Amino acid sequence: MKNIIESPFVVDMMRMTANMYRMGWDERNGGNISMMLDEQEVKEYLDIDSSIRAIPMGFEAKPLIGKIFIVTGTGKYFKNVEFDPENNLGIIRIAPDGVTANLLWGYSDGGRPTSELPAHLMSHMSRLAVNPENRVIMHSHPTNTLAMTYVHELDEKKFTHSLWEMCTECIVVFPDGIGVLPWMVCGTNEIGIATAEKMKEFRLVIWGQHGIYGCGKDLDEAFGLIETVEKAAQLYLMTANMPRVNTIHDNELVELAKAFKLNYRRDFLYLD
Ligand code: 2HA
Ligand code: ZN
């Protein structure tokens, strides 16, 4: 067996969590990531039929039975992952009953997957139904995005439109817009169900006064979506108290959509 600490998936998780911590988005134990792994690749490092312990999940994830995920641990700090991956990360395989996760590696101090596991696994199910290539669900507390949820109406059309106006690239990066949820208690099946429902339609979901979810075929794609929203939110806040002299107009957003052949939420524009 090869050394799992050197596997591309563990190394990528170490680098990504360290980067997100240094962005200032994942204070203390804030944020969590789950990434579906390729069974054949994992077999080079682990016996995938040997469980260290069974972890009850408290919800059903039948479409994910047998699937393997690397997941950040509950209560663990992103800043520490790179120094102790075996304690701060875990690799789980969804058991045949669909309600238990078998621990294959990690959480070495007796830990568990993120408290947001319902939102993660339910969102994986939603995204895989839309895009079989999806592998990553990422949750974070990016500062400007979070601040914007205090001063901007939590309306999907209005929120998306405000961000699309802030950078030319926004509509190109997230033409499908942003789903928005009101403030809810986190770590519950209810917020998981609500997030997964939005994830059927959107690759980005805002949790009002809490943070954001993004997804993608790899860590870079999920990060890139969140990073682009965060940049636009920063520009929004930097200019929010100043007279707006210039903007990107809706007819220009339409031109962008044509130039980049975007399948975009035209109903999120204010066209006559
Ligand atoms: O894991 O971010 O939403 C800590 C959180 C909960
Ligand atoms: Zn959070």
Burial class (CB in 10 A: 0-12, 13-18, 19+), 23: middle
- Statement: the pTM of the whole predicted model exceeds 0.95: yes
pLDDT tens per residue across span 39-70? 999 999 999 999 999 999 999 999 999 999 99
pLDDT tens per residue across span 152-202? 999 999 999 999 999 999 999 999 999 999 999 999 999 999 999 999 999
Is the same domain home to 79 and 192?
no
41 carries an active-site annotation: no
- Say how many domains are in the chain: 2
Mutate to test the pocket of ligand 1, among 80, 114, 210 (most ligand atoms within 8 A of CB): 114
| Ligand index nearest the alpha carbon of residue 119 | 1
Query: Is 80 strand, coil or helix?
Result: helix
Query: Is 69 strand, coil or helix?
Result: strand
Beta strands in 38-192 (DSSP E): 53-56, 68-72, 89-94, 100-106, 136-140, 179-181
The residue among 115, 149, 172 that closes a domain is 115
Average pLDDT of the chain is 98
Provide the domain limits for residue 152. 117-272
What is the predicted pLDDT for the residue at 126?
98
Q: What's 82's domain CATH number?
A: 3.40.225.10
The residue among 93, 115, 137 that closes a domain is 115
Is the same domain home to 18 and 103?
yes
Residue ranges lining ligand 1, Cβ < 6 Å: 29-32, 114-116, 139, 186-187
Is the same domain home to 24 and 103?
yes
The residue among 49, 82, 115 that closes a domain is 115
Is the same domain home to 265 and 143?
yes
